[in-house]
Structure 1
């Protein structure tokens, strides 16, 4: 929603004493001097109220959450700290579909947020993986990200797996019970031992995204469980931030 310019409002108010002065040449109005000398209002911080990377990191599922064998890969742990990055939107018309099976797959929508936190837990002996990420966006951009997921799936019905030279099949659909809205994507390939499940769930201006290959059901159950855990934590962290 676009509000009327505050500058135009100030100018309209300041013009009124001038009109009165034209009718009574000897009169003065101190309010005109006050309007003229008033300092311009400070621009609103576009990141006000948005969680920082440091806060988002606290909302990620803790080490105690993950089953034995799934160890943190420190090289894949990142966050934006206490600062914000500049948001960006780029064309998502031709996404690099193979990135669906990678960390930060949510970026395929072409929308970058202002803060994020992520990490990955991997069981190398069992070829199992659980990734979690939280991205925060300005305004309604988080809702745009969710809409963009269906477009990504439509553009990536299948893609070649560079490691096995086989074809990965992609399906996606909205799902319920997670945050304000949620979308699930399933990746399957006849050459894989197990498929991959991706889930994105929006919580206000934040989008929780997870990737799982853990479990014989293409990682579906473990992905939903992890997404639910992080969604609950984001809600709690958002409440704490608003109280402080």
Structure 2
């Protein structure tokens, strides 16, 4: 793969890549596309090999499909690190499935990067994420370097476009990151999403409470508060 030709026809990963427009639709943190996309890589311990693939929801959630496929394809004693890039964070039921999967594969380390938080006001989903973290899973919101990594390694980008990953608004990355910390700390949600203008726009509103000011350093809150000093809208998908 080269920056002037794009992924070549002989690239072994080409058939496992998604199209640029799908990447933008799935992973733009301002959008609320219903389906979930999973980009994942498996780093085998004591080996330079990295296995990469992509998956989307079908009749079941991608997290469930992945755990079943991994269990069927690989020996339980395998040592590896699995890195997920999810367009939505796991729901409560998927969180439970992931925990059971990890208990059956103690030699697997899982890192989850998410573009958005799935139904973040639902307490069962929030508890599911806390349970995952308490089980040793590292969960974090995707940042700019993560998007560039996914673009280079999972997207069938056009020739000459290796360095032209879509620029998604950092304000929403910061907002979701703050909300994830609220979840881990057991704090109330710090933002809401509502529909406006005949349901064609999503309205993101920051709703900080006293407990947020007490628990987070001022410089962190000031960054997010500055970003959302006025309501921010995004197109509805």
Q: Which bin holds the TM-score, normalised by the shorter protein? A: under 0.3
Q: What TM-score, normalized to structure 1? A: 0.22
Question: Which structure is richer in relative contact order (CA contacts within 8 A, separation 6 or more)?
Answer: 2
Higher strand share: 1
Between Structure 1 and Structure 2, whose CA radius of gyration is higher?
1
